[in-house]
Amino acid sequence: MKKTIELIVPCYNEENCIQAFYNSVREVFKKLYKYDFIITFVDDGSKDNTLNIIKEVAGTATKGRVQYIALSRNFGKESAIYAGLSKSRGDYVALMDADLQHPPELIIKMLDAIENEGYDRATARRISRTGEPMIRSLFSRAFYHIINHVTVIDLVPGSTDYCLMKRNVVEAILSVTERERFTKGIYAWVGYKNKWIEYENVERVAGKTKWNFMGLFRYAYSGFIAFATTPLRGVVYLGLLITIAAFIYAANIWISTMQNPYAPRNGYASIMIIMLFLGGVIITTLGMIGEYLARIYMEVKNRPIYFERESNIIKEKKDLCTEDEKLKR
């Protein structure tokens, strides 16, 4: 039986991309005729015609080749990826965006790395950021710098979610069941031998990005909280530092009182400054602890990561490449 490569494609309002995506993938798999391929579109609660177009494409393709899972609402890309992975059966599984910003032909190099060079997964890495606003690139660089310094994970700048992995890596990722999913961090955390496949940035084929600056900031922030506990330790150090500063200040007052007991002192101003400073420190620290507490709260609720509204996935695995399909190629 042929090995199957399954592509998991999260889609949110991508009605103008689906057909182009399918056509490009089909072209690539003409070269990879020794493999079967399945595309699993995960419709992440799209408000446009995405699901109907996926169904149309599924209707024209070989039976079972184009699968879909429609989620009950928009859960976000990370949950959509989890939904796709948890339903996947392919021997190799790839994660790809629907907008063709992840060039499908890279699959060939990725497959080569896994099959011939002994890697467990291959991940695409953008080496240019053309077409991206300056502020986004700057922010992104700063994010990688900070997260790599304060967490156990090592994220590579320009790394994307686009990857091809062996079944065991998929199982490892699925075993990480946290709700607030920062996929890039989870990939890095599970480990395994990864090969970086570099490529030049590509612009979307149609539609527009779902990310604005604030959205990206929230994503980065939540990724940071998910993997770093350093801020909590930082709070302890800050507390110690303030205590030491208080002792030095007390010693300073004591010495100057000894030297001149009648020296005029502005007691009101210094007390106000210290009170405001400490008030600020205490509230910030509580807020920081609150962030982690909120995470614990969300995680202990143990809510499902997604709900499926409908799907056309058939359970049994079979060779999809029928004789007439071979002729069509």
Q: Nearest CA to 121 among 186, 175, 197, 176?
A: 197
Q: Closest separation between CB of residue 313 and ligand UDP, Å? A: 17
Structure token pair of residue 288: 């920081």
Choose from ligand UDP, Mg ion, none: what does 10 bind? Cβ within 5-8 Å by kind: ligand UDP
Stretch of 76-84, 191-199, 237-245, 254-262 contacting ligand UDP, by CB under 6 A: 76-84
Choose from ligand UDP, Mg ion, none: what does 77 bind? Cβ within 5-8 Å by kind: ligand UDP
Contacts of 283-287 with CB under 8 Å at 24 or more apart are: 285/235, 285/238, 285/239
- With CB under 6 A as the rule, give the number of residues binding ligand UDP: 16
Choose from Mg ion, ligand UDP, none: what does 12 bind? Cβ within 5-8 Å by kind: ligand UDP
Give the whole-angstrom CA distance, residue 51 versus residue 70.
Answer: 7
Closer to ligand UDP by Cβ: residue 131 or 279:
131
Choose from ligand UDP, Mg ion, none: what does 11 bind? Cβ within 5-8 Å by kind: ligand UDP
Choose from ligand UDP, Mg ion, none: what does 74 bind? Cβ within 5-8 Å by kind: ligand UDP
Residues of span 92-111 touching ligand UDP by CB under 6 A: 97-99, 101
Q: Closest separation between CB of residue 16 and ligand UDP, Å? A: 11
Contact between 10 and ligand UDP by CB under 6 A: the answer reads yes
Stretch of 9-17, 89-97, 181-189, 278-286 contacting Mg ion, by CB under 5 A: 89-97
Stretch of 33-41, 71-79, 115-123, 309-317 contacting ligand UDP, by CB under 6 A: 71-79
Q: Closest separation between CB of residue 209 and ligand UDP, Å? A: 3
Footprint on this chain of Mg ion (rule: CB under 5 A): 97, 99, 101
Footprint on this chain of ligand UDP (rule: CB under 6 A): 10-12, 14, 44, 74, 76-77, 80, 97-99, 101, 209-211
